Copies of this chain bind each other. A is one copy, B any other.
Amino acid sequence: MKESLTGHVLEPIIRKALAEDIGPGDLTTSSILSGEERGEGRALAKSDLVLAGIDVFITAFRLLDPTAALREALVDGTAVRPGQTVAVVSGSLCALLSAERTALNFLQRMSGIATMTRQFVDAVKGTGTRILDTRKTVPGLRVLDKYAVRAGGGTNHRFALYDGVLIKENHVAAAGGIGSAVQRVRRRAPHTVRVEVEVRNLEELREALDAGADMVMLDNMDVEAMREAVLRAGGRIPLEASGNVSLANVRTIAGTGVDFISVGSLTHSVRAADISLLISPEPPPEG
């Protein structure tokens, strides 16, 4: 995956994480080291994983030591086997020791997300259905969580409440109907965002189609109903399946012909990828 996260997005997040962990100072490291030592850190995969977050990983070290640098690294999105080196970073030994936990906390979470996303993506391979994330991300890290989903081959749903419209039951009730809700949104929201409507049954689907919705989310429908919904939509607008999706049922759902399946657990129930950092001091330069 060639795409990279630019510094102006990453740095404030990582700076805050370092401040949380180091605060007024790393008591152990600053007591023992002189600050002059150099070292190398080798990040090793200890289980199968899909890598995500190398930019974040190296930035954590660089913010403590501007001379820190990657000596080698796999690219995000790579499937990695246990025992493989995913990155080697060199720099001040103090920086390596003090930023280790922060760098790994990011890398392990992001790779955990990419790994699970890849499993869902593989499960629907060949069906044409795409795997979507949700807004069920960790507060403050959404930009990283959603990047990791892309690294795993998934597709991003709207980023937030401001870049997409999703009309839910309460909105419909307040507007007095799906048609009126869609109308109100079209009047106020930028025409650059699509209007999606959440429906719970085929009757609501019909209303949404009549109202001119740009997309429909089928919320917690059973497979039969979804199949019927696909027929009725007839390809005019994309359909998204949502609710209780797991690796066990995702392919069946894809088989209904829906265009998208959104999976909250990609980001709300992340299993950290197992990666450890082997740090070793470098011999001081001769002379």
User: When the two chains form the complex, which single residue of B30, B160, B192 contacts A188, counting CB atoms closer than 8 Å?
Assistant: B30
Instruction: Count residues of chain A with CB under 8 A from any CB of chain B.
Output: 102
Min CB gap A280→B, angstroms: 8
For A4, A265, A269, the residue with the greatest tally of chain B CB atoms inside 10 Å of its CB is A269
User: When the two chains form the complex, which single residue of B8, B192, B194 contacts A19, counting CB atoms closer than 8 Å?
Assistant: B8
In the complex, what distance in Å separates the CA atom of A25 from the CA atom of B105? Answer: 23
Q: Mark A155-195, 1 if CB is under 8 A from B, else 0.
A: 11111111111111011011100000100110111111110
A140 with B20: in contact, given A163-B193, A279-B170 (CB under 8 Å)? yes
In the complex, what distance in Å separates the CA atom of A238 from the CA atom of B194? Answer: 13
Whether the pair B268, A272 counts as a contact (CB closer than 8 A) is: yes
Please name the residue on chain B nearest to A39 by beta carbon.
B170
Q: Does A3 contact B (CB under 8 A)?
A: yes
Whether the pair A137, B190 counts as a contact (CB closer than 8 A) is: no
A135 with B193: in contact, given A174-B281, A188-B30 (CB under 8 Å)? no
Min CB gap A42→B, angstroms: 13
Residues of B within 8 A of A156 (CB): 189-190
Among A94-102, A204-212, A226-234, A249-257, the one that faces the other chain is A94-102
A185 with B27: in contact, given A13-B140, A97-B171, A190-B163 (CB under 8 Å)? yes
Residues of B within 8 A of A19 (CB): 8
Please name the residue on chain B nearest to A63 by beta carbon.
B8
Among A73-81, A83-91, A106-114, the one that faces the other chain is A106-114
